[in-house]
Amino acid sequence: MTRKSLVELRKEMRAVARGERKPSPLPAAPLFAALSKESLDLLGTLLREHPATISEVVAMTGRAQSNVSRSLQLLAKLGLVRLVREGREVRPEAVAKTLSVDLASGTYETTPAAGRADRFFRNAGQVRVQGFTDR
């Protein structure tokens, strides 16, 4: 990946926001570091079961609440999960269903989880461009 100037990044973000182009893929190294067996199991649980709260994820996985929260925060930072606050509860949502890694360039892109991205994009005021295919 090449470095971009602030002006180039701003132009790219605006083009993505207008729908004129897809965002640049993200570097894959942090993704590989984060995708342990436990993280993959957690993503699978979110995609299959659609839990309403982190407490439900804890009950489903049998892992400690602090461990689940830390894993979900890391996955959210990578753009694979979205954490939606509803009052005192936090609802984890899988944003990505599949990952596509380009080993030659060391980047990755995702395919959205069914139904999740569509609902998110309807709320145009909430869309944040973060260099990811679906956020």
Strand duo 26-27 + 81-86: pairing: unpaired
101 phi/psi in degrees, rounded to 5:
-110, 130
Please tell me the predicted confidence (pLDDT) of residue 34. Answer: 85
CA 43 – CA 34 distance, rounded (Å): 12
Q: Which residues of the chain carry a pLDDT beneath 50?
A: 116-135
Q: Which domains does the chain have, with CATH numbers?
A: 24-126 (1.10.10.10)
Q: Which of 111, 85, 110, 95 is nearest to 47 (CA)?
A: 95
pLDDT score, position 57: 95
Give the pLDDT of residue 49: 93
Looking at residue 84, what is its pLDDT? Answer: 94
User: What global pTM score does this model have?
Assistant: 0.65
Model pLDDT, residue 63: 94
CB 59 within 8 A of CB 68: no
Taking the C-alpha atoms of residue 134 and residue 111, their distance in angstroms, rounded to an integer, is 8
pLDDT at 115: 55
